[in-house]
Amino acid sequence: MGVLKKFEQRLEGLVNGTFAKVFKSEVQPVEIAGALQRECDNNATIWNRDRTVVPNDFIVELSTPDFERLSPYSGQLGDELAGMVRDYAKQQRYTFMGTIKVHLEKADDLDTGLYRVRSRTLASSANQQAAPERAPAGPPPAAARGGQAGGYG
């Protein structure tokens, strides 16, 4: 990742973290959707001229209050967010190695309004999916405000 991209992510995290602490606003699903899009962009791996692979397994870590508010809808919200990631990937011509999954988890170290996105690329087993998910082109949507991002680790 380039120096400028790292600087931009740190600045974004600092600004968003400060606003979330000052205004104590709750995390909204649209913010998470924007962060998932950025996670795809930031972790895109070019395999060849026609194939750019992005993560397909995401964990969204939320503060305790945000997790308690959103967890009753975690199944449906995860499906909706996965659909949004799939649509975004089609517009960007990204490819997935397997099924897209989005999970919500509670993180005790986060304050209300803060969240983290972790991602990884998981290949499907041969019997689950013979070919990777593929996405044709289209216009990119506007990005939303986000929290911190990073791979599983």
- Model confidence over 110-151: pLDDT tens digits? 999 999 999 999 998 753 444 444 443 333 333 233 444 455
pLDDT, average across residues 55-71: 97
Q: What's the confidence (pLDDT) of residue 25?
A: 80
Reply yes or no on domain 3-151 having CATH 3.30.2320.60.
yes
Average per-residue pLDDT for the chain: 78
DSSP reduced 3-state for 57: strand
Range name among 9-13, 34-38, 61-65, 103-107 with the lowest pLDDT average? 9-13
Q: What's the confidence (pLDDT) of residue 48?
A: 92
Tokens of 55: 């993560």
- Matching residue, tokens 């190695």: 97
The shares of helix, strand and coil residues in the chain, as percent rounded to the nearest 5, are 40, 20, 35
Q: What's the confidence (pLDDT) of residue 146?
A: 41
Q: Is the pTM of this model over 0.85?
A: no
% of the chain residues with pLDDT over 90: 61
Q: What residues pair up with 57 in beta bridges, in sequence order?
A: 101, 120
| 13 band by pLDDT with thresholds 50, 70 and 90 | low
Residue 104 and residue 70 in contact, taking contact as beta carbons nearer than 8 Å:
yes
Cα 21 from Cα 112, distance rounded (Å): 7
- Supply φ then ψ for residue 70, to 5 degrees: -95, -20
Cα 107 from Cα 83, distance rounded (Å): 24
Q: What residues pair up with 130 in beta bridges, in sequence order?
A: none
| 5 band by pLDDT with thresholds 50, 70 and 90 | low
- Model confidence over 85-97: pLDDT tens digits? 999 999 999 999 9
Residue 72 C-beta-side C-alpha neighbours within 13 Å: 3
